[in-house]
Structure 1
Amino acid sequence: VDLVSEASKMVVAPMPNLYFTRDPFAMIGNGVSINRMYSITRNRETIYGEYIFNYHPDFKGTPQYYSRYNTFHIEGGDILNINEHVLAIGISQRTEPDAIDGIAHNIFNDPTSPVDTILAFNIPNNRAMMHLDTVFTQIDVDKFTIHPGIMGPLSVFEITPEGDGIKVHEINAPLEQILEKYIGMPVTLIPCGGGDRIAAEREQWNDGSNTLCIAPGRVVVYERNDVTNAVLRKNNIDVIEIPSAELSRGRGGPRCMSMPVVRED
């Protein structure tokens, strides 16, 4: 079949991963990170983000905390806004520690940025847990979904401003304890699969821990993760299910396929 007919010619070659809009750029507070992607192929996706934030009348002038031309890779699936002051970033298969170091300097040196703490989560380096949001997402002010695979000892690095630079402090404590310190209230961790190891492994491959929170306590999830979705409802979460069909085979859930530009407090 001749895909390029006279009636319809593609101006540019298609970018097959572009539906994962979370990764090429990520909003951080009132600024944006134009990311350096892990793969050369996907790095093309950041070009349109660069043009939007440099030239679009609604978005030009937005503080930029990272550049697609930087050496070290970082992707939006590893960047989670916990609240106005706290940012979580995954050290993962797709995000390097040096990138986090660089973005921290830029965020803290922006006088308009409300972010004063960055928590760098060191997660396993493998495809099943390629981004922080594949194993950990926030679904309410005090509730998180989590894959049981990162429930054990977890290295978290607290990054805060110090003079013109940054200070890094390693924290070795249970995840609940770490989160409670920065959120200021008790937290609930809801495991993918409800704690059932077999269900957790199966539903993790269908992004059971990757939820799109559209309001506190209201999330969009794949309908096929019935065990995890039932547990979310038991925890008084408003669950909106969508069919995943073939989408989950691309290794991404509802959060991966969204990039909110503006968030209400």
Structure 2
Amino acid sequence: MESSGKHFRNGVLFLYLRTMIKLNVTDEFSPLKSVVLGTAKSNGATPALKDAYDPKSAEHIKAGTYPLEKDMVSEMEAVATVFEKYGVTVYRPTVIEDYNQIFTRDIAFVIDDKIVISNMLEDRAQEINAIAHVLDQIPQEKIVRLSSYAKIEGGDVMPFGNYILVGTCRVDHFNNYVTARTNADGVSNLQEFFPHKEVKSFALKKSNYDPRENALHLDCCFQPLGQGKCIIHKEGFEFETEYQWLVDQFGEENCFHITKEEMYKMYSNVFSIADGVVISEQKFDRLNDWLRKNNFTVETVPYAEIAKQEGLLRCSTMPLQRA
């Protein structure tokens, strides 16, 4: 897909064609064609405890075990190598000095052929500017901007065929939690922009202080995998009926149930390259064994340092096109 443009140089008019990015995401596991992968370069110093956005980061700040930039850069490059192996086109954010730009999933997300710009925490507002070179290659009519009062982050949003699944925090609790990232207005906005879909929300358990009791996003306690399988953590959902709805969609026998400790380690935050191909953390032994027994190809990478910030593989990738 191309668009035309023009510019003047020394009084001479030059015409050019610019290749535009095709958007298409309707699920979590169709073959990946292009993606925005975050960057850990110039990630900045360990933040002050008061500036932590989530309880797991705070835990590692207090313990003196917050991840080092060099280790996180190495982990992210391992993912880039896997994408190269599968012929995926990879875009990276422009590096902002001393700024965390790892978790690109949160700043925008694609549904069908449109990209939705998230309304995030104010301290993370610069991150969208770092993918301006990507947005410039997308037709303006394909870029969706939410109402100012609608709060939403991409980790809470999952295209799922005719559904859009969205993790939320209850209206009466939202302002009590720094870990509450998507509100009811965000859900309503999505329904307005995608009226042909059914937007289904799931209230998640939140904690500002205990990472084992906090489902930061929907992808921290649930993820579809392809081949009719999913990963799910029952205790991450505030209401059992909403958890059960998901189980019923897949069938109990197709659900990989993770423990509270596995949720803490981010077991559900793997990333699918195709219907039967998953990138997973190399130490997720129980999950990786189950995947292989169910005929998945598992591409393992080290990602335990990045996981210390309560995000993993899905969090650091923003798919633009799936076949």
**Where on the TM-score scale, by shorter chain, does this alignment land: which range?**
0.7 to 0.9
Q: Percent of pairs identical after alignment?
A: 24
- Aligned equivalent of 2:122, options 31, 34, 40: 40
Q: Counterpart in 1 of 2:139?
A: 60
Q: Which amino acid in structure 1 is aligned with residue 299 of structure 2?
A: I
1:140 aligns with 2:226: yes
Check whether the contact 2:149–2:185 (CA below 8 A) recurs between aligned residues: no
Corresponding residue of 1:19: 102
In 2 relative to 1, CA 186–155 (structure 1 residues): closer, same or farther, beyond 3 Å? closer
3-state DSSP of counterpart to 2:105: coil
SS of match in other structure, 2:279: strand
Secondary structure at the counterpart of residue 261 of structure 1: strand
The amino acid across from 1:89 in the alignment is V
> How far apart, in 1, do the equivalents of 2:119 and 2:130 lie?
13
Higher relative contact order at CA 8 Å, sep ≥6: structure 1 or structure 2? 2
1:149 aligns with 235
Question: For structure 2, which runs of at least 5 residues remain unmatched after alignment?
Answer: 1-43, 45-94, 170-179
Q: TM-score, normalised by structure 2?
A: 0.60
2:181 alignment counterpart: 94
Structure 1: gaps spanning 5 or more residues: 4-10, 109-114, 157-171, 193-199
Q: Residue in 1 aligned with 2:79?
A: none
Could you tell me how far apart the structure 2 residues matched to 1:152 and 1:121 are?
A: 8
How many residue pairs get aligned? The number is 216
Give the match for residue 30 of structure 1: 113
Q: Which structure shows the bigger proportion of residues in helix conformation?
A: 2
Paired letter, 2:223: T
Seen in structure 2, the aligned counterparts of structure 1 residues 173 and 189 have a Cα distance that, compared at 3 Å, is closer
Q: Aligned with 2:165: secondary structure?
A: strand
Deviation at 1:236, TM superposition (A): 2.4
CA distance in 1, matches of 2:132, 2:189: 18
Which residue does 2:156 correspond to in 1? 78
The alpha carbon displacement at 1:259 in A equals: 0.8
Equivalences for 1:224-263 in 2 at 5 Å? 224-263=283-322
CA contact (8 A) 1:210 1:253 kept: yes
Separation in structure 1 between the aligned mates of residue 133 and residue 241 of structure 2, nearest angstrom: 36
How far apart are 1:129 and its partner, in Å? Answer: 0.8
CA RMSD, 1 decimal: 2.7
Check 1:261–1:75 CA distance in 2 against 1; reply closer, same or farther (3 A cut): same
SS in structure 1 of the partner of residue 313 of structure 2:
coil
Structure 1 residue 226, shift from structure 2 partner? 1.4
Q: CA–CA distance in 2 between the matches of 1:226 and 1:116?
A: 36
